Amino acid sequence: MVVVPLEYDNKADMHVATVQVGTPPQKFYVVLDTGSPQRWLLSASSNDPNIKSRKRKYKSKTRKPTETTVSVTYMSMKVFGQLVEDKLTIAGYTMDNFKFLEVTEMSPALEKDEKFDGVFGLVLDMTSLVFHPTLLGLMQQWGLIEEYSVSFRFCGKQSTTGATIFERGDAVFGDVPNEYHYGHVVYLATTPSRLPTVSVTLIRFGDLVLCRDCHVLIDTGSYYIIGPKDLIKKIHLQMTFRDVTERGVYVECRHIYTYPELEVILGGTTFRIPADKLIMEVVRGRDRKCLSGFMQKPTSEHSWILGMPFLHNVLTVFQPMYQRIGFAKVNCDSPPIQSTSVNS
């Protein structure tokens, strides 16, 4: 069992894990992403001004380049780079032959001083062997874990505005800690697709049914609950919103407790999330604003992604080899557990 602490960076609006890569070991902050298979860090040899301006960039004496190049497109950014292999240290354990992209092109530019240096995707992509073995697979090869699973716990607190402030979390590789959840874990089968989804019985916001018997992506790399434009608009019509920006919809903090709750039914278990846990506090200098946790898809695609506003209310268990994802009510009062490798 390998326990990786997660730190919330309010400038990047992401939970990041601290890792070390290469020789000499360099520290990086990466997102452990259950919504993609790709892994990447920014290259020190890049001439891209969006990368050259970054504080932390990859450079190593033990770097092993390959002939493979990969382009990755996310909802809000795009990267391109060369596949390399090198040493990875995570939670104090060091492994060789870790594959990732050394990114030489990135758009758009990231915000200054963000603790975000790259992404370590965790999806087991059966259509391509480029990123095999996965991080879970590599941990198994090195005898660090026995069970091919990773459990995520994200924790926060309520601010004076009434909104939620994300604080910390844990990614537990190889185990499902009983201390991290209440009740039993509900497991749902994933679809056999490149990005596994689960079937959700119902998602409802107040009296508004958002989807029934639909497939959704569970994504630790998403800051929002993302859905079709028409339904996201109907959600925000039930809130008192102040401003609509590229970042999202800002709502009136003082009216948070009048907004409806979110109801998600998974495998016969109902998760009810009050509005104050769906609204995130954004702090910029002395200014405190309340940002809606819902975001519309940039395309006309009629599907849903359950990101952080949902996930910080549940313990989420990803078990790719069993083709399932588990959910349980999260327990954030329990202190972090310690790593114990199979060989220890």
Verify that 212 and 320 share a domain, yes or no: yes
Q: What is the pLDDT of residue 170?
A: 95
pTM for the model stands at 0.93
**Residue 155: inside a domain:** no
Would residue 175 show up in a list of annotated catalytic residues for this protein? no
Q: What is the pLDDT of residue 341?
A: 64
- Could you tell me if residue 113 is left (phi over 0), alpha (psi between -120 and 50 degrees) or otherwise beta? left
Domain range for 252 is 180-330
Verify that 119 and 192 share a domain, yes or no: no
**Residue 208: inside a domain:** yes
Verify that 113 and 225 share a domain, yes or no: no
Strand partners, 119: 31, 40
Would residue 86 show up in a list of annotated catalytic residues for this protein? no
Q: What is the pLDDT of residue 158?
A: 85
Q: What is the pLDDT of residue 40?
A: 98
> What 3 state SS string does 172-238 have?
EECCCCHHHEEEEEEEEEECCCCCCEEEEEEEEECCEEEEEEEEEEECCCCCCEEECHHHHHHHHCC
Over its length of 344 residues, how does the chain's per-residue pLDDT go in tens digits? 999 999 988 777 789 999 999 999 999 999 999 989 999 999 999 999 999 999 999 999 999 999 999 999 988 899 999 999 999 999 999 999 999 999 999 999 887 778 899 999 998 887 888 999 999 999 999 999 999 999 999 998 888 888 888 888 999 999 999 999 999 999 999 987 778 899 999 999 999 999 999 999 999 988 899 999 999 999 999 999 878 887 889 999 999 999 999 999 999 999 999 999 999 988 766 788 899 999 998 776 788 999 999 999 999 999 998 999 999 999 999 999 999 866 65
Concatenated DSSP letters of 33-73 = ETT-S-EEEEBTT---HHHHT-S--B--TT-EEEEEEEEEE
Verify that 87 and 192 share a domain, yes or no: no
**Residue 153: inside a domain:** no
Verify that 132 and 30 share a domain, yes or no: yes
Gap between the Cα atoms of 29 and 17, Å rounded:
6
Kindly name the residue from 86, 125, 219, 276 that is annotated as catalytic: 219
Q: What is the pLDDT of residue 298?
A: 77
**Residue 339: inside a domain:** no
**Residue 197: inside a domain:** yes
Verify that 96 and 224 share a domain, yes or no: no
Verify that 326 and 215 share a domain, yes or no: yes
**Residue 172: inside a domain:** no
Q: In the listed set 93, 119, 142, which residue is the last one of a domain according to the structure?
A: 142
Q: In the listed set 87, 112, 142, which residue is the last one of a domain according to the structure?
A: 142
**Residue 270: inside a domain:** yes
Verify that 317 and 194 share a domain, yes or no: yes
Verify that 74 and 125 share a domain, yes or no: yes
Verify that 124 and 242 share a domain, yes or no: no
Q: In the listed set 91, 119, 142, which residue is the last one of a domain according to the structure?
A: 142
Count of structural domains, the chain: 2
Q: What is the pLDDT of residue 127?
A: 80
**Residue 342: inside a domain:** no
Verify that 189 and 322 share a domain, yes or no: yes
Q: What is the pLDDT of residue 166?
A: 85
Kindly name the residue from 33, 48, 117, 170 that is annotated as catalytic: 33
Q: What is the pLDDT of residue 46?
A: 97
CATH of the domain at 254: 2.40.70.10
Verify that 125 and 199 share a domain, yes or no: no
Q: What is the pLDDT of residue 162?
A: 85
